[in-house]
Chains A and B, each alone.
Chain A
Amino acid sequence: MIFDRAMSNDQPRPIGLAAVLDILPLAIAVIPWGILCGSLAIQAGLTPLESQLMSLLVFAGAAQLSALSIIGGGGGLPAILGSTAVVSSRHLLYSATFRYEALKLPLYKKMAFAFLLTDEMFAVAESKKRSLGYFSLDYALISGFTFYLIWNLSTLTGIIAGSSITNLDELGLEFAIAATFIAMVVPNIKSLATLIAVLVSSLTSVIFHSYEISNGLLFSGLIGMCTGYFIEQHSGKG
């Protein structure tokens, strides 16, 4: 392991190395999704260049997969834009969380930060902000870019493998994503309010999912957040 020396050191790691190491597990877990995304793009009839550009320019796993299934099903642009807006609406909450930090940045840094802001980068950057006590733009950008790089390499793998991989979606790759998110959230549950918020979000998202309610993800997230906030307010200082 090239990182052994840094990890065994008692000194705090350089922020860039910490950023790469923190995002790496999440980036590795997303590789199967990238491969799936690349091969689906080819199957949906996109050229290899178009497929790669989608990952390079859009850089949004869930939105890309839903857009591809619409393209594959012969759907039009309004359907693609609609589904992308719905799937991406959680990013509104992410950007609201980092609003104060971002307002201080020059335009190009703000845009780079916004472009690299994924579920995974948000999770590590927010947790780092709490442990450091301040927001580190370098940390956010480096972890975001590492994720971007691995996402695009795995899409490329999927494009090259193309339609030769037929039963990718039967391998349970979506479970890797669920496992990653569980492993990220569980160690960070440090208060009763968070625990209940998480339980409420899980329950409502399963209910919305079973009734196929569109935007269920955002609603269940918001319901959990409201619950957590309410409990925190009413349990003294929280």
Chain B
Amino acid sequence: MRYAFFIKNIPIKLNESIERFLRFTAPCILVSMAAPIVFGGVKWGVSDLTNPFLIAGMSTILISLMIKNTLFVVFLSMIIFSSVKYIFI
């Protein structure tokens, strides 16, 4: 799979607009993997205000707007996730 488009013989010519399209690959695929983890278990209702995935996921979005260091963001959000889980479950 990973090798597919590196093969010269595949007669596909990627023009500039396809390149522009492909520039959205990283953000879109990554959030497609992250979103169901954060929101997948949410059943809308009052009880879900204590869902650790939801709370910590939203916190992660806020923290990553402020801090650029990926490792530090992940570390902080894991602490939030564990605390929320410990408090409510």
Contacts and interface: CB of A to CB of B under 8 A. Distances in A.
Interface of A: 24-26, 28-29, 85, 88-100, 102-103, 105, 110-111, 113-115, 117, 119, 122-123, 126-127, 172, 174-189, 193-194, 197-198, 201-206, 209-210, 216-217, 220-222, 224-226, 228-229, 232-233, 238
18 contacts: A25-B74, A85-B1, A88-B2, A98-B5, A105-B6, A110-B3, A117-B2, A119-B30, A172-B52, A174-B37, A179-B60, A182-B57, A183-B63, A197-B28, A202-B39, A209-B35, A221-B29, A232-B20
Contact of A28 (B37, B71, B77, B85): B71
Contacts of A204: 32
B34 A189 contact: no
Given A25-B71, A85-B1, 4 more contacts: A29-B74, A117-B2, A179-B74, A203-B35
Given A123-B26, A217-B33, A225-B21, A179 B6 contact: no
A127 B26 CA distance: 9
A18 to B, nearest CB: 14
Contacts of B26: 122-123, 126-127, 185, 188
B53 to A, nearest CB: 6
B2 A94 contact: yes
A208 B72 CA distance: 31
Interface in B11-27: 14, 17-18, 20-27
Contacts of A25: 69-71, 74
Q: By DSSP majority rule, is chain B's interface helix, strand, loop, or mixed?
A: helix
Contacts of B46: none
B81 A209 contact: no
Interface string B57-73: 10011011100111101
Interface size range of chain B in the complex: 35 or more
A209 B39 CA distance: 10
Contact of A177 (B3, B21, B37): B37
Contact of A217 (B24, B27, B29): B29
Contacts of A28: 71, 74
A126 B56 CA distance: 27
Contact of A93 (B8, B22, B38, B69): B22
Given A182-B61, A183-B60, A210-B40, A201 B32 contact: yes
Contacts of A174: 37
Contacts of B1: 85, 88-89, 91-92, 95
B24 to A, nearest CB: 4
Contacts of B56: 175, 179
Nearest to A123: B26
Nearest to B6: A102
A189 B40 contact: no
